[in-house]
Structure 1
Amino acid sequence: MPAENQRTLLPMLGHVRGKRSAVTCALKCDNACAGEVCNTSKNNYFRDIAEGAISRRSALGLGLAGALTIALTGGQKAEAGTLSQAVKTMAPSKLDFTPIAPVDYLVDELNVPAGYTWKPIIRWGDPLFNDAPEFDAAKQTPEAQARQFGYNNDYSSIIELEGSKGRRAVMFANHEYTNNELMFSAEEMAADPARIRAIARAAHGLTVVELERATKTDAWSYVKGAPRNRRYLLDTPYELTGPAAGSALLKTVADPSGRRVLGTLGNCSGGTTPWGTILSGEENFNGFFRSAGTSAEDKRYGLSDKATRQGWELDDPRFDTRNPGYSNEANRFGYVVEIDPLDPTSTPKKHTMLGRLKHEGANVHVAANGKVVAYTGDDERFDYLYKFVSRDTYRDGGTTADREHNKTLLSAGSLYVAKFEGDSAAEIDGTGKVPSDGAFDGVGQWLPLVVDGKSAIAGMSTEQVLVYTRLAADIAGATKMDRCEDVEPNPITGKVYVACTNNSNRGKTGYAGPDEVNPRSLNRDGHIVEITEDGGDQTATTFTWNLLMLCGDYKQGDAVYFSGFPKEQVSPISCPDNVAFDSQGNLWISTDGAPSGIGYNDGLFKVTLEGAERGKVEQFLSVPRDAETCGPIVRDEERHVFVSVQHPGEDGTFAAPNSYFPDYVPAGTPAGRGQFAGPRPSVVQVLPTAHAK
């Protein structure tokens, strides 16, 4: 980022609620909630978007696979037919714990239940390769960072290796953004800003690292120099797939083929496929580019003509799309990325068939007819929920050829966007009051955007739909949502859970008002939508839905709802972000922005989905000061839980840290190996104290 102090330009300062940092808003999403809403369509219930929304410029431009067992991922392996059969009965979680109390937002600790302890698996700067130097905050270089674990890890997934008897695995993590003021001293940033930018670039991207442990109950450790260790950097080539690959909309002077992109940006959540690859969503990519910002397309994606906080346009012409030959560079980001963690020589892919938007992530499951279905949310106020259905079918033979076939499934098929209708619309007044029928519920449709590779939107080609997906969804008439983040089907019941994080503009003058699926005005605490596909078929184009919960803290005056479970008996929860399931199908939610008022630290929560305790929320852990809980993995059979701790101590500086997580080195300790007196984003594991060897 430019050398000036980042806190001089914080438009969210004084507007964030609870413990959410204005610095996080600035660095992660370029203050999206302080700027103009990208979606200015009026399509809550009718289609009134002119086909002329696509600019004339764009219209004229068209012319090692080894055997594995998925045993420790954020979800569970989906066998063909599992999710589309009759609903199965869920069982209580095998992970027993006494819920912790909310933790004040100024506390710099990671809190876990009695009988459990936590240990970091890997931290920012830990060396991945034998020739990588140990982390030294005072001696950072771009070359060293490229061989070390990156910054601000978000999604994580662990895949056990077959034949290892649960003692070897590969772990994936992505790196969403950097905070230079925590990584470097003010003197360094002022003296050599170009070097600082280069180190920051090397701290982005993706990481794969091998893990080991002595027995199936022990803690994991990462293996330095393991053969599958890999960093995916901003010069790593990615292959574009799907109907938009090779389109004139994706060509640049550096890539006249329109099929090869260097790097991935703004990676947030993700998913693990049934064939053992990893998906990562490119989310807030717009903040990395300077653009003219005058076209309908640029405005719809939040691109603007201002210097970026990273300042990479000073070093690489592609980050300024005003430069000749680079007008399409930003069109090459905003996709779901697929990588093969078992083959460090493989080329990662960007799947245009899943559309271009601010993908929080993507989660793939296999329907009864063998087609794979991927759900993904667009993490922007008033944007949409999407579903992809593959053209081809999943092969479950277990051979290398089957796996290679499955790795092509996200390249062809159909793309849909969701429209919701409530059955008590007249009763929704924005207060969060439960309708007289006792629930927020209704029906919905999956509106077609692309069907079998052909555009379903009049006036737009297939390539335009997949590159300007938001504009296509506007025309289709999708329902504006309150920031759809993680979306995942339950592996036991097949019901789909959508984390809507918040939307403080809902109901304000000039913006969409409340509706039954987004029933609160000034929605600062978020909610969870539960979807049941018609007939239990995840390829269906109609569904029913209800709200599992309206999040918040009733003690602070929030209007809350927990499917009828007493509000006095739940842990307060706000801003749901990522979701996961244990082996019995119980829902686990990680948060990004804890409850309002005095504020609590973010955490991980278990939610009961069936029976008399449906809607009961129990807090399992809380992360340190200023941090966000990401990438939860719940391995309840082993009583192990994993989370990514992102941006701890975000409001501090290198010289005056707000957090000392995870090493808790005393202030004033000289920087050096294992002695950095400041926060380091990390992947941590929580396990019974007796197993923490």
Structure 2
Amino acid sequence: MPMPSTTSRRTLLPLLAAHPGGRSSATCRYRCGDACSQPVPNTSDNTYFGDVVQTAIRRRAVLTGGGAALAGVAWAAAPQPAVAAEDLPDTDHRLRGFPSIPPTPADVDDLVVPRGFTWAPVISWGDPVEPGAPAFDVDHQSVEAQKGQAGYNADYLTLRLDGDRGWRSRRGVIVFNNEYTNPEMMFPDWDGSVTAEQAEIEMAAHGMTVVEVTRRNDRSPWTYRRRGTRNRRIHAWTTFALDGPAAGAAWMRTGADRSGRRVLGTLNNCAGGDTPWGTVLSGEENFNQYFDATDAPDPEGRLARYGITSAGRGWEQADPRFSLVEEPHEVNRFGWIVEVDPDDPGSTPVKHTALGRFKHEGATIRLAQDGRAVAYMGDDERFDYVYKFVSRRRYREGDKRHNLRLLSDGDLYVARFTGDGFQDGEYDGRGEWLPLIVDGESHVDGMAVAEVCTWTRLAADTVGPTKMDRPEDVQPDPHTGRVYVALTNNTARTPGQIDEANPRAANKFGHVIEWREQGDDAAALRFRWRIVLVAGDPSDPGTYFHGTDQREVTPISCPDNVAFDGEPGHLWISTDGAPGTLGTCDGLFRMPTRGRDRGLVEQFLSVPTGAECCGPVISWKDRSVLVSVQHPGEGGQSGYPYLGDSVPRPGVAHVYPRRG
């Protein structure tokens, strides 16, 4: 049943303190192993480009007419009391389609949508997916049950429609990542340490979920098919094939896999992307936190460069492969881009080593002018890099068997963003793609191709790319070909480390960069870039909204995922960190990238207290928006999806026009 956006608010527990980056303490612990509290893994001495401090000061003066340097901005709103949605004032809006909502205070437990829209849960953690899976029962969980039920903490989300009717299709399949687990919310009897059985349930709740969906019309919600023939759970025991240069390497071989070509499971899957040949890509991100590195030797610093330094999450008591002392090579088999065919539930998913190994937020595909597949990727770590892969083979329309090999072999590059010294009054400049692997040859001294693919961070450190503020989702605009990267935040950047592409020290609000490849060719090795959003509260003069009057926009913080909706120039941004930086719930925002309204950030929805908004899929022809509601109530309490019990269940929600 559709859930109205203006239902009464639920009683909440106090929110836990946020880490400097804006996330709750629980998010930091379970998603990334408290990465922001650990030493920065990138200790390379790459140069910061340009006369950066003076550039920032000059930029700040142009935007505000003087005042303190942008590097010193550290604004945050105080938390506000909860109010009902009907009591929240409307904001002016100029774009057709929806009346924007105002920011929602961080302790409001509701999924708030614009007037004229409603929402419904599509699928939630524990819903039965595969044949024989039982109905969800929080008090009677088991490993076998969870293997057949929807996974935990939905993140990246895609909807692939059946047939050739486009957005008018009423059938399809959705795929969503199950990034990580929250044992303190999953298990009613959790006492602060995970048991072997609970560890196995967590392992089963990771991975990906594939389900068929149907819809009656464009004013009804998508619902999942309990007996869909393509329904599938991918978890920590699912068999994956390794391909590309590093497959079969000595450091890929384990006691259970002497070939180094077969891996069990995928972990911490964050964002992803669709391919033109009908498959789905998924990025293994904070895989480092699952492995117990206690007493593990690291003479070459490879473990430290990937943040593999903790005691893990206790999974080694259920499976010794998660102990680096017991199985030192298992960790090398994670940190890859995964490819899944949602139309073939019996197919073996693939981990593509040719795309490099790092904390992949995801990978998105654009075809080059000569038909080669280009994958854009961000490494979600403070001071890490943006990457590009260009396939050796060319895409063939309708030849899926051929196209499934496109990501197995190609060239790998890392980005350098060079500022122009503020000659035109904008944060902008030129960029170049620095080669790591070209034509099957390594361009990194002392490292073979397979080593570059496996220890990509260390390889990239040697060629001088730009250290970025946590590059997450990277998306090309399907209409213009321009590419957008969300830089979520970086509170560790000091004033002496700012550059024109990362112009704010102690950057807790984040920003978005746009670039245009030379000749509009995705395979080009040069590009022009500019910052289109410096996030934060618009009353802060250090923010920037693509030139739009800051009095007309809504606050936004910590951009995470970016997407497009089928209308030219409509960039959508979902956020992760607003509660700890603005005192508001995270949500989904639209920002035009061209025309007189470019930079006019408007908020479409907000997710419940403690939750993060992920994986937006927008079809603006029928005003349909799908989002993943991740970790509702994390650090507090939520009743999402409000099914009559008190168990918060992350999952997928559908927002659509209200009838009447």
Output the TM-score relative to the length of structure 1.
Answer: 0.83
Residue 367 of structure 1: CA displacement?
1.5
Distance change (3 Å), C-alpha of 1:595 and 1:224? closer
Aligned residue number for residue 505 of structure 2 = 521
Residue 16 of structure 1: CA displacement?
3.1
| 5+ long unaligned stretches in structure 1 | 1-11, 47-91, 425-434, 653-657, 666-675
Aligned residue number for residue 632 of structure 2 = 648
Residue 14 of structure 1: CA displacement?
5.7
Aligned residue number for residue 50 of structure 1 = none
2:178·2:207 contact (CA, 8 Å) conserved in 1? yes
Matched, 1:612 2:601: no
CA distance in 2, matches of 1:365, 1:566: 33
Matched, 1:662 2:641: yes
2:509·2:581 contact (CA, 8 Å) conserved in 1? no
Residue 189 of structure 1: CA displacement?
7.3
Residue 129 of structure 1: CA displacement?
2.9
Residue 145 of structure 1: CA displacement?
0.9
CA distance in 2, matches of 1:393, 1:129: 36
Aligned residue number for residue 223 of structure 1 = 225
Q: Aligned runs of 1:196-345 on 2, under 5 Å?
A: 196-291=198-293, 292=296, 294-295=298-299, 296-304=301-309, 306-308=310-312, 310-323=313-326, 326-345=327-346
1:210 counterpart letter in structure 2 = E
Q: Deviations over 1:278-315 (max 9, x none)?
A: 000000000001122633100100011x422x200112
Q: Deviations over 1:637-683 (max 9, x none)?
A: 1110010000000013xxxxx10011163xxxxxxxxxx31210010
2:414 counterpart letter in structure 1 = V
SS of the residue aligned with 1:506? coil
Aligned residue number for residue 180 of structure 2 = 177
Identical amino acids, percent of aligned pairs: 52
| 5+ long unaligned stretches in structure 2 | 1-15, 50-92
1:244 counterpart letter in structure 2 = A
CA distance in 1, matches of 2:192, 2:575: 32
2:21·2:490 contact (CA, 8 Å) conserved in 1? no
Residue 580 of structure 1: CA displacement?
0.4
Distance change (3 Å), C-alpha of 1:227 and 1:93? farther
Residue 596 of structure 1: CA displacement?
5.7
Distance change (3 Å), C-alpha of 1:278 and 1:507? same
Aligned residue number for residue 465 of structure 1 = 452
1:239 counterpart letter in structure 2 = A
Q: Aligned runs of 1:481-560 on 2, under 5 Å?
A: 481-507=468-494, 513-555=497-539, 557=540, 559-560=542-543
Distance change (3 Å), C-alpha of 1:14 and 1:629? closer
Which of 639, 646, 660 lines up with 1:677 in the alignment? 646
Residue 438 of structure 1: CA displacement?
1.9
Distance change (3 Å), C-alpha of 1:564 and 1:453? same
1:570·1:617 contact (CA, 8 Å) conserved in 2? yes
1:93·1:583 contact (CA, 8 Å) conserved in 2? no
1:644·1:682 contact (CA, 8 Å) conserved in 2? yes
Aligned residue number for residue 368 of structure 2 = 367
Stretch moving more, 246-255 or 115-124:
246-255
1:573·1:595 contact (CA, 8 Å) conserved in 2? no
User: Aligned pairs, how many?
Assistant: 596
1:94·1:636 contact (CA, 8 Å) conserved in 2? no
CA distance in 2, matches of 1:436, 1:293: 49
Aligned residue number for residue 418 of structure 1 = 415
SS of the residue aligned with 1:143? helix
2:578·2:586 contact (CA, 8 Å) conserved in 1? yes
Residue 234 of structure 1: CA displacement?
1.0
2:197·2:318 contact (CA, 8 Å) conserved in 1? no
Q: Aligned runs of 1:343-492 on 2, under 5 Å?
A: 343-396=344-397, 398=398, 402-424=399-421, 435=422, 437-492=424-479
Residue 200 of structure 1: CA displacement?
1.2
1:364·1:373 contact (CA, 8 Å) conserved in 2? yes
2:292·2:322 contact (CA, 8 Å) conserved in 1? yes
Matched, 1:146 2:147: yes
1:549·1:562 contact (CA, 8 Å) conserved in 2? yes
CA distance in 2, matches of 1:188, 1:197: 13
CA distance in 2, matches of 1:135, 1:595: 30
Distance change (3 Å), C-alpha of 1:93 and 1:405? farther
Distance change (3 Å), C-alpha of 1:520 and 1:188? closer
Distance change (3 Å), C-alpha of 1:353 and 1:94? farther
Stretch moving more, 373-382 or 312-321:
312-321
2:20·2:508 contact (CA, 8 Å) conserved in 1? no
2:252·2:329 contact (CA, 8 Å) conserved in 1? yes
SS of the residue aligned with 1:395? coil
CA distance in 1, matches of 2:170, 2:94: 24
CA distance in 1, matches of 2:270, 2:641: 21
SS of the residue aligned with 1:44? coil
Stretch moving more, 466-475 or 153-162:
153-162
1:293·1:299 contact (CA, 8 Å) conserved in 2? no
Residue 395 of structure 1: CA displacement?
0.5
1:411 counterpart letter in structure 2 = S
1:552·1:595 contact (CA, 8 Å) conserved in 2? no
Distance change (3 Å), C-alpha of 1:93 and 1:494? farther
Residue 437 of structure 1: CA displacement?
2.7
Which of 594, 600, 614 lines up with 2:584 in the alignment? 600
RMSD (CA atoms): 1.9
1:95·1:636 contact (CA, 8 Å) conserved in 2? no
Q: Aligned runs of 1:4-19 on 2, under 5 Å?
A: 15-16=19-20
1:412·1:452 contact (CA, 8 Å) conserved in 2? no
2:414·2:436 contact (CA, 8 Å) conserved in 1? yes
Aligned residue number for residue 574 of structure 1 = 557
SS of the residue aligned with 1:579? strand
Distance change (3 Å), C-alpha of 1:595 and 1:28? closer
Q: Deviations over 1:193-244 (max 9, x none)?
A: 2221121111111111011122354321100121110111211111111111
CA distance in 1, matches of 2:552, 2:164: 45
1:373 counterpart letter in structure 2 = V
Aligned residue number for residue 687 of structure 1 = 656
2:98·2:604 contact (CA, 8 Å) conserved in 1? yes
Residue 558 of structure 1: CA displacement?
6.3
CA distance in 2, matches of 1:141, 1:376: 36
2:520 counterpart letter in structure 1 = G
SS of the residue aligned with 2:458? helix
1:420 counterpart letter in structure 2 = F
Matched, 1:129 2:126: no
SS of the residue aligned with 2:145? helix
Residue 163 of structure 1: CA displacement?
6.4
SS of the residue aligned with 1:197? helix
Residue 157 of structure 1: CA displacement?
0.6
CA distance in 2, matches of 1:163, 1:449: 40
2:252·2:260 contact (CA, 8 Å) conserved in 1? yes
Distance change (3 Å), C-alpha of 1:93 and 1:250? farther
SS of the residue aligned with 1:612? coil
Matched, 1:37 2:40: yes
